[in-house]
Structure 1
Amino acid sequence: MIKQTLLALASVLFFSSAQAQTLVAAVEKAPSEITIGVIPGGNPEILREQGLALAKELQAKINIPVNIYVSKNYAGLVEAMKTKKVDFAFFSSSTYVHAEEQAQAKVLLKKVWNHPYYYATVIVPVKSKIKKLEDLKGKTIAFVDEQSSSGYLYPKVALQKKGLNDKSFKEVIFSGNHSASVQLLEAHKVDAAAVFSDDEQGKEGAWIQFGAKQKYRIIWKSAPIPNDPFCVRQDFYDEYPKITHTLMFALIDILDQATDKKIYSEILGTQTLMPATSKQYDPVKEMVKALNIELKP
């Protein structure tokens, strides 16, 4: 039986079975149900359909009732894990830092798009006399927006370490997206731009992906930034370690075996998952600490 329960700050999409049996009952007791938290995005009706389908498919693999808890925002999702309304959750990389501190979230997996990591970069035209971040003083730079990790936050930390802030530039332009920042460089309206790169060498940088006609040079690149993590509540993991790992690999299998890689795109926004560790998120933790980023609803 499938039922939907509306909560004050979230909705739960619930798929249950009257006689669920756990695959690992012989070695550890099983929870009566498992709840996975996700963030809403895009079309809510498609999200509902995908949530029910994912819950059903996961339950078929692990034989435990599965709930999909759809939070209105990341702050609500962290609170849901803290108050044990969810056992697992998909967080953004920066929200995971808060979830680890406030809700004892333990990272298990991370999403993978083209690569398991991406990078923040600052680029300039290949013939520019700008060679390093310090050379940007008095110049014009394009950022994406104040909430963009690779398009502002990570570069901001690097600039601060060099004694530079937004007032150090002749002009700061927030373009709104990475493509627009590349276009500003193409039009010679800025001297530099902070944009993402999917690879370390810049062969899959935003300027390549968005069809820049000119050539650009990276003057600064961040440490590898891990993609969004899938986490478990630490006390749940301590009580049900085998079930936790069974669910992890069931989720990986579902995505890897799917003929339609977009089948859960509204919920997972990814094509595959791979194991991850807390240490991989050290660059994110450094960024959150350096900028004193607070978790806001």
Structure 2
Amino acid sequence: MSRHLRTHALAAAVLLPMVLTACGSSAADDASSSSGKDNPGTLALAVVPSEDATSTAQHYKPLIELLEDETGKKVVLQKVTNYAAVIEAQRAHKAQIAVYGPLSYIVAKNSGVGLEPIAATILAKGATPGYWSYGFTRSTNKDVGALSDFKGRKVCFVDENSTSGYLYPHAGLLKAGVQDDAYTKVMAGGHDASVLSVVRGNCDVGFSDSTIQQLLINQGKLQKGDLKTVWKSPVIPGSPVAVSTDLSAALRGQLSDIFTKKANADYLKSKGYCDGDDCRIFGYWGYAPVKDSDYKSVRDVCAATGDAQCEAGS
């Protein structure tokens, strides 16, 4: 049987959305106790919100299967309700692996979470990790053609700890002369939610990362031409995968090798984990190695905006 037809029911492994301030017993608890924190029998992978839980599970299914086969461990996908919950999952030793946005990684690092960045998303084989933030509105909106036109509008962001969904847009607006009190701020909670809120007229304009619109088109949730992009940010360092420093050096090294050498569309397809575009994870080809210093430019944008969340715990 091909791997992409395995019926190990990944959806059942997706933990219910939660805010990790009052965690009860769960598969993630088992991850910390089954054979010690340094080499647990179960690994929990926490993911920042980009899409609804079902879509997220489908996108990560090939990666989950790869991780299970390579490590011999059970891997559960922990889809949380907001960016802060990913940080708290690793702080509370509930997630051994976390997919961060660049800003939420910095916030976690600044606040003392024990983590090590091992890889970041890349759009194509051999590419440098990086992506963009897009500012957009409905194609029929003739009154908006630049960030300066966001003044007086209802603006959808993603989350205050989102790099492409808040930090870089905030910096862009300030540079365009649009101060915080010049628009109505809405936090949509996910990149897909920000896009769809603009399409549906709940927001006049919005921001998201540069891959989500195509994903929504592929899923039939968005029609090509529904939106027009009026702003593109400077390049943002790739979204990092970080592993808990609770894990042994050997296991951290193994996970780094899996992400940077095997967790890519070409390898996943060749081994039967997925087919075609389903082998791309949220539109990305795969991962490349990263280190903490690669996120200096994000720290510089933080300094420019003065956003409080950038300084959390520092």
TM band (smaller chain):
0.5 to 0.7
**CA spacing shift, 1:34–1:244, aligned 2, 3 Å:** farther
**Alignment: residue pair count:** 252
Q: Percentage identity across aligned positions?
A: 15
1:12 aligns with 2:30: yes
Equivalent pair of 2:167/2:301 in contact (CA under 8 Å): yes
Structure 2: distance between partners of 1:130 and 1:145 = 20
TM superposition shift of 1:291: 1.9
**Compared with structure 1, are the counterparts of its residues 212 and 56 closer, same or farther at alpha carbon in structure 2 (3 Å cutoff)?**
closer
Deviations 1:231-273 (A, max 9, x none): 24569686788656544456527735442438xx9xx878753
- Compute the displacement of 1:109 (Å): 1.4
What one-letter code is carried by the residue in structure 2 that aligns with 1:59? Answer: T
Aligned counterparts of 2:186 and 2:64: Cα–Cα separation in 1: 42
Q: Which has the larger radius of gyration?
A: 1
Q: Distance in 2 between matches of 1:136 and 1:210?
A: 22
Is the 1:33–1:67 Cα contact (8 Å) retained in structure 2? no
Q: Could you say which residue in structure 1 is the equivalent of 2:108? A: 99
CA distance in 1: counterparts of 2:274 and 2:62, whole angstroms: 13
Q: Which one of 288, 292, 295 corresponds to residue 281 of structure 1?
A: 295
In structure 2, the CA distance between the partners of 1:134 and 1:103, relative to structure 1 (3 Å rule), is: same
Q: Could you list the runs of 5+ residues in structure 1 that have no partner in the other structure?
A: 18-30, 61-65
Q: What are the equivalent positions in structure 2 for 1:202-281 lying under 5 Å apart?
A: 210-211=222-223, 213=225, 216=228, 218=230, 220-233=231-244, 243=254, 245-248=256-259, 251-252=262-263, 255=268, 257-261=270-274, 273-277=286-290, 278-281=292-295
Aligned residue runs from structure 1 range 1-297, under 5 A: 10-12=28-30, 36-39=43-46, 42=53, 56-59=68-71, 66=73, 68=75, 73-80=85-92, 89-93=97-101, 94-101=103-110, 102-111=112-121, 117-123=130-136, 128=142, 132-137=146-151, 139-147=152-160, 149-169=163-183, 176-184=193-201, 190=204, 192-198=205-211, 210-211=222-223, 213=225, 216=228, 218=230, 220-233=231-244, 243=254, 245-248=256-259, 251-252=262-263, 255=268, 257-261=270-274, 273-277=286-290, 278-286=292-300, 290-293=306-309
1:246 and 1:34 map into 2 onto residues whose CA distance is: 19
Q: What is the match of residue 23 of structure 1?
A: none
Q: Provide Cα deviations, 1:200-245, integer angstroms capped at 9, x if missing partner.
A: xx9x598998325477352x32122345422245696867886565
Contact conserved, 2:64 with 2:76, CA < 8 A, in 1? no
Aligned AA (2:171): V
Higher strand share: 1
Q: Is the 8 A contact 1:110 1:227 kept in 2?
A: yes
Return the TM-score normalized by structure 1: 0.57
The CA deviation at 1:57 is: 0.7
> Do the aligned partners of 1:108 and 1:231 also contact (CA within 8 Å) in 2?
yes
- Change beyond 3 A, Cα 1:229–1:35: farther
Query: What are the superposed Cα offsets for residues 38-93 of structure 1, whole Å, 9 maximum, x if unpaired?
Result: 127837xx89x999955641135xxxxx4647667413332156xxx87x512321
